[in-house]
Chain A
Amino acid sequence: DARVTQTPRHKVTEMGQEVTMRCQPILGHNTVFWYRQTMMQGLELLAYFRNRAPLDDSGMPKDRFSAEMPDATLATLKIQPSEPRDSAVYFCASGSGTSGGAHEQYFGPGTRLTVT
């Protein structure tokens, strides 16, 4: 049963600390997305990659957030330094598709981040 995996599932950290979240996309999927979910804003796209190349990170606060895809089986989202307003659930999703879009996106279980 192919699925997207994310680690850690929960993270509590103090303001100013670095946070790294990891995602393993479904094998064979070439597009990886990072979304953030909060009660106030709902689900928001932060960044995404196709064939490991970053295509759009306009939804991400660039001064503190960075997203990378070191290889086809690993995507990372890093926050440095973290702030209380970063508290949210971060989802990774993967899909397969060409430049026309990876329409069917499959979400991981998420990382619940709490910054105190």
Chain B
Amino acid sequence: EVQLVESGGGVVRPGGSLRLSCAASGFTFDDYGMSWVRQAPGKGLEWVSGINWNGGSTGYADSVKGRFTISRDNAKNSLYLQMNSLRAEDTALYHCARDRNVDTAMPGSDAFDIWGQGTMVTVSS
């Protein structure tokens, strides 16, 4: 079964850091670009960051640029999001999502056909 499972969420104080992980299974992970998409409670979807199949190209939303870093370990079938200088407005459910096509060159350019259930991040003092 094709599956994405996120972990690493929790409660953190403003200014703090957190590292999210996404474990992939059921498909050849290093064939696909991946992204993180978040959803604040009761709000809409927001693309956060994307990475191409080999990690050579990354992209970020303006709202997180300079604070968040996306990476992947293809040997471990895992995607990561390092989040620093966290703010209250970063509070959201964070989903990892798979590009629909293999070998997509530009992060964020493809549709997402597989989504994880998400891991909740709460930034609060």
Q: Please say whether chains A and B are actual partners in one complex.
A: no
**Hey, which bits of chain B sit against chain A, CB under 8 A?**
none
